[in-house]
Amino acid sequence: MLLRTALLFLSRNRTLRRWVETSALARRLTGRFIAGLHLEDAIAVCRRLNGVGLLVTLDCLGEEVTSVAEVEAASKAYHALLDSIERLGLRSTVSLKLSQFGLGFSERLCYDSVESVVRRAASVPTSVEVDMESLGYVDRTLALVVRMHEAHGNVRGVIQAYLKRSYDDLAMLCERGIPVRLCKGAYREPASVAYQTRAEIRGNFLRLARILLDRGVYPGFATHDEFLIRRIREYAREAGIPASRYEFQMLYGVRRDLERSFLEDGLRLRLYVPYGEAWYPYFMRRLAEHPANLLLLLKNLFRR
Ligand SMILES: Cc1cc2nc3c(=O)[nH]c(=O)nc-3n(C[C@H](O)[C@H](O)[C@H](O)COP(=O)(O)OP(=O)(O)OC[C@H]3O[C@@H](n4cnc5c(N)ncnc54)[C@H](O)[C@@H]3O)c2cc1C
């Protein structure tokens, strides 16, 4: 727990981030979780995954930006990404973070920039998955998802099972027919608002997953937790819900060992494939989730 807290704290450290993101050695070590620094790297990975039957969601990394120029750059990057998805006929959605589109300093700018991405995605056609960030962003993120859904339809919201408020948020999204990605939640939130133990988080995840299977629109279950995956599959089977009505989602590089069995069992699996230069906070959250990754990283560092 202490290590997780420390890693999440470091994930927000700007000085360390600047130093690490420009280090060639660090970049080599991140290859397991990040497709590469450039759009072409992500496209190559996406084509390979599509080729074996996996669906993809592409994420051009970035978050917590502080200037209009950075928002414009993010918007441009997503338009280029959508151009490639259309041109190559890739089976991929896109995932983005609102703090990458300036939510932290201008709601108006964020809304307009994201809307242009959502509109372009609709013409591909594909959809935009709006990642959920830390608690301070939740209300504004859900509000934007609702507005985008009303205006364009092709968005998916994210619900974090560790938040105690998530039952109400999920009910609201289901009522409006908005597709949901359900995940555990990757940030550090206090016990007053978030479940802290694995058992509580799993319990809430399953409760919400059942609601999504009963009355959600094409839900995505984003987890590598085999206990949850098994229980969700059992529930769907018992309720007679076909595998085409939902999908599982995993992060690129995390459980390569499981991917093949999903396909063999006729299940839909979408991999979240991040790319780009701003990889540091994403990478640190992956270390925090699974501190054993830190050992692997250190082993690689001292090899040879
Ligand atoms: C597709 C996708 C999208 C997501 N989007 C969001 C989002 O928008 N907002 C948000 O807050 N969170 C998001 N997350 C992260 C999520 O909230 C969790 O932090 C993360 O998935 C770990 O939880 P878990 O359900 O996999 O269970 P865990 O209990 O953490 O992991 C289960 C098992 O999976 C393996 N595993 C898990 N993580 C790792 C790792 N990093 N490295 C190696 N092995 C690992 C281990 O074997 C572990 O025992 C997303 C996750 C996925 C898969």
Mean pLDDT in residue range 153-163? 98
Phi, psi of 113 (to 5 degrees): -70, -45
β-pairing verdict for 92-96 and 128-130? parallel
Residue 210: alpha-carbon gap to chain centroid: 21
14 is catalytic: no
Q: Which two tokens stand for residue 192?
A: 């007053």
222 membership: H or E segment, kind and range: strand 220-222
For the chain, list the domains and their CATH numbers. Answer: 1-34+279-304 (no CATH), 37-268 (3.20.20.220)
How much is the pTM? 0.93
Ligand 1 atom having least distance to the Cα of 205: 25
Residue 141: CB within 6 Å of ligand 1? Answer: no
Distance CA 224, CA 33 (A): 14
Q: Which of 86, 143, 89, 95 is nearest to 118 (CA)?
A: 95
Give pLDDT tens digits for 191-237: 999 999 999 999 999 999 999 999 999 999 999 999 999 999 999 99
Q: Which of 17, 59, 131, 268 is catalytic?
A: 131
Task: Name the amino acid, one letter, at 121.
Answer: A
Band of the pLDDT at 289, cuts 50, 70, 90? confident
Task: Name the amino acid, one letter, at 304.
Answer: R
Say what the pLDDT of residue 18 is: 67
Ligand 1 atom having least distance to the Cα of 185: 17
Q: Which two tokens stand for residue 3?
A: 């290590």
Q: Which two tokens stand for residue 185?
A: 């939640």
C-alpha to C-alpha distances, 99 to 110, 123, 182, 222, 299, nearest whole angstrom? 8, 24, 20, 21, 34
Distance CA 197, CA 203 (A): 10
The alpha carbon dihedral of 70, 87, 43, 126 has a sign of: positive
95 membership: H or E segment, kind and range: strand 92-96
Say what the pLDDT of residue 304 is: 44
Band of the pLDDT at 302, cuts 50, 70, 90? low
Residue 254: CB within 6 Å of ligand 1? Answer: yes
Lowest mean pLDDT among 21-30, 183-192, 265-274: 21-30
Q: Which of 17, 156, 181, 188 is catalytic?
A: 181
Ligand 1 atom having least distance to the Cα of 250: 53
Say what the pLDDT of residue 15 is: 72
User: 282 or 47: whose pLDDT is higher?
Assistant: 47
181 is catalytic: yes
Band of the pLDDT at 9, cuts 50, 70, 90? confident
Answer for the pair 232, 221: CB distance below 8 angstroms, yes or no: yes
C-alpha to C-alpha distances, 27 to 7, 32, 210, 217, 304, nearest whole angstrom? 18, 10, 40, 38, 17
**Residue 4 CB burial class (10 angstroms; 0-12, 13-18, ≥19):** middle
Band of the pLDDT at 278, cuts 50, 70, 90? confident
* Sequence-ordered alpha helix ranges (H) in 56-100: 68-88
